[in-house]
Chain A
């Protein structure tokens, strides 16, 4: 048997052990990406092989925590896919404004860039005080970072360009304070966001949401777990609510697909039908 195949066996055993001992099930994650992330984690760790890592992983919670941090980090940016945020501003917000109060679930929020982007957009559209964003992630380390609302200053130029392309017309620099190499987001943005841990593989729904965003998270899942997530989102959403996916994700061929109409076809903004 070749080295590469041995690594595949080791990964299967490792994920099985992790599931049994810690309850986190990564066997439903798409194999190619999880293997890349695991291999990256291994290279940064003190272990030479997954077998060698396994003994301590299964016995020492902190070793597992480092693995968990390593393999569940999703990267994102503020106003990622500016055209999506433009459509949000122009086509979705007019509907949201008709409600006295709007609840939004941002599933898989990672370090919070998109949740903060949404807060900027809603504040600019006059909805400050009339919405709450529940931003969740499986990885509590990224959630901690998200709730701090501190970003590397060197990213701000790119985020500013995204913001402007998305139709933002205020001065983006007004949304943060520069401190050395960091940008600290303003308190007005944090006020309406609640960060909380949530594992899409095992945890339950969030009730009566007007909008659910889950962009570029389910692309890492196998089909069965994708279906589970979509059922979860579907049961969380009110009729007339919006479901937003990544630009390369679609409800085509999905069980819940018939409950939705695509509002803005290439941008993966779906609206839940009434009845």
Chain B
């Protein structure tokens, strides 16, 4: 299928810091897609995670600000106590609306809004976590024709979130964390070789 992926969205909770450090550390500096991440964090968490991940990978890592333009090769982390959303036109938005799936930031909110904007050109990834957030959002990504990837529960530090995602929707790939960076690169390189033809989809 000729695709033109525009973004990767990742949802992760318990065990997320080490999982993200490992994943992002394996991606090359020239990884062509923007990566938007919701890692569940407490309402008063500072920007320590941005710093930590920035030090362990070659990509640019920043806390998402409202109206940030979504740029390739950049990792955007949802700030504490705000939902992260994608706006039409390729910009980020934040919201202080009530918790969704018991979380703010919520993976579901990011995934659903990204699916609205990117449709089939989106890769959604659910990693380790001890709750159910992300499963509804991953289902929406699939419904809009995007690609769904879930960390193999047997490989995850906390199995519940990947298991809930697998129960909620059919997915394209179930992978161990170790194989995820290679998979993302392969998917991203497919899009690099195929022309950007937005009208060429089966809709």
Q: Which residues of A contact B (CB under 8 A)?
A: 2, 4, 30-33, 35-37, 74-76, 81-83, 216, 219-220, 223, 246-250
Interface-located stretch among B17-25, B86-94, B175-183: B86-94
Are A4 and B116 touching (Cβ within 8 A)? yes
- What are the 5 closest A-B residue pairs judged by CB atoms, nearest first? A32-B85, A216-B96, A32-B113, A33-B95, A30-B93
The interface residues of chain B lying within 8 Å CB-to-CB of A30 are 87, 93
**B 62-106 binary contact with A (CB < 8 Å = 1; else 0):** 000111000000000001011001111000011111100000000
The interface residues of chain B lying within 8 Å CB-to-CB of A223 are 67
Are B93 and A36 touching (Cβ within 8 A)? no
Are B86 and A32 touching (Cβ within 8 A)? yes
Are B116 and A2 touching (Cβ within 8 A)? no
Partner of B87 from the list A2, A31, A247, A249 (CB cut-off 8 Å) is A31
Q: Which residue of A lies closest to B113 (CB)?
A: A32
Q: Which residues of B contact A (CB under 8 A)?
A: 44, 65-67, 79, 81-82, 85-88, 93-98, 109, 112-113, 116-117, 144, 203
> Nearest-CB distance from B148 to chain A (Å)?
17
**What are 21 A-B contacts with C-beta separation under 8 Å?**
A30-B93, A32-B85, A32-B87, A32-B88, A32-B93, A36-B85, A36-B95, A74-B96, A75-B96, A82-B44, A216-B96, A219-B66, A219-B82, A219-B95, A220-B95, A223-B67, A246-B96, A247-B79, A248-B65, A248-B94, A250-B65
> Nearest-CB distance from A115 to chain B (Å)?
16
- Cα separation A21 to B95 with both chains bound (whole Å): 28
With A223-B67, A248-B65, A249-B66 as contacts: A36 and B97 at CB distance below 8 Å: yes
- Cα separation A171 to B97 with both chains bound (whole Å): 30
The interface residues of chain A lying within 8 Å CB-to-CB of B97 are 33, 36-37, 75
The interface residues of chain B lying within 8 Å CB-to-CB of A216 are 96
With A32-B86, A33-B93 as contacts: A248 and B116 at CB distance below 8 Å: no
Q: Which residue of B lies closest to A158 (CB)?
A: B43
Q: Which residue of B lies closest to A249 (CB)?
A: B66
> Nearest-CB distance from B47 to chain A (Å)?
9
The interface residues of chain A lying within 8 Å CB-to-CB of B65 are 248, 250
List 9 other contacts, CB 8 Å, given A32-B85, A32-B88, A223-B67.
A2-B203, A4-B144, A32-B95, A33-B93, A36-B85, A36-B109, A36-B113, A75-B96, A220-B95
